[in-house]
A and B are shown apart, each in its own frame.
Chain A
């Protein structure tokens, strides 16, 4: 730590050289092995929290705190996301001006498929998220795209998540070097420190789940996207996965990337894949 302080006050290049020499153990990843990564990821949390039932991890902070869980279960009798859910159902069923509808863009008419997103599109060579697919569906049918962070996008994804509730997350990584690279990129993004606060996603969600950051109890990273989209009391409204990535960035004082930036798509891919097998619990309610 002392070395680091001295280095920052010195020149950047000298610091860089010194850091590389003094760097912590660096293990080169020769072969990208998502299955091994997922197994290690899940085992880490299962071992760290042996009293938490595996399916319960998808309930975020509620799996970490009994009192919060009780309050949440009471609220689930009459959840705050009900209005968005109903709005989403109606929106989903309403045809576009050209007569087509969302059902025409998705397998199985868009019902009960949320657990397959994101997927790797081999034609495009990139990760496609549910939010991205919905806006592409709109644009392909002559409609304006929605904002990625809230309102209509949140309502639509809430409905689609609801039709998949209980189904296990089921993300595929084809044996394609681009897909493997996307997975690895997402993993790298997850563990990289950013912002003036110098936090990575892992700083909070791997190192400190169940502990507090200010007044909030931190959720474990395992299954953290399974409840998306969420009604957050902090937002007094719904927010999508995009919204959460953007706000997490700014909370660590990093300027956020654009919603659906490659890094965000890839980290969603990574986080969803390592939660394979855990149930979809969305839409969710969070503090």
Chain B
């Protein structure tokens, strides 16, 4: 099955620029379905970016993050060809992970 995580990591001198698009419903638990029943909360709780054994970006998320979240950030200390590992876990015990090479 295709990963829920799309990533693009580009090395720009000393700085690596990362963009990620994650497929996730991010249900708040406040919305009702067509039958009038609440759709249970289903959201990413933690998102981690790891590079060369170190966490470079960790996010603790809640229900205020939109569906299919997009993240963009930069960090120092990595080079072209290094591995960037991205993983998330959600409140229902779901998770996904992917490793991409910095271009």
Contacts and interface: CB of A to CB of B under 8 A. Distances in A.
A227 B48 CA distance: 34
A77 B23 contact: no
In the complex, which range does the number of interface residues on chain B fall in?
10 to 19
Interface stretch (B55-63, B64-72, B75-83): B64-72
Interface SS of A by simple majority: helix
A78 B70 contact: yes
Contact of A83 (B8, B19, B20, B68): B68
**A: interface residue count bin:** 10 to 19
Contact of B70 (A75, A86, A236, A237): A75
A236 B21 contact: no
Contacts of A236: 66-68
24 contacts: A74-B72, A75-B70, A77-B8, A77-B19, A78-B6, A78-B8, A78-B19, A78-B20, A78-B21, A78-B70, A80-B21, A80-B68, A80-B70, A82-B6, A82-B21, A83-B21, A83-B23, A83-B68, A86-B2, A233-B66, A236-B66, A236-B67, A236-B68, A237-B67
Contacts of B6: 78, 82
A76 to B, nearest CB: 11
Contacts of A237: 67
A74 B68 CA distance: 17
B9 to A, nearest CB: 12
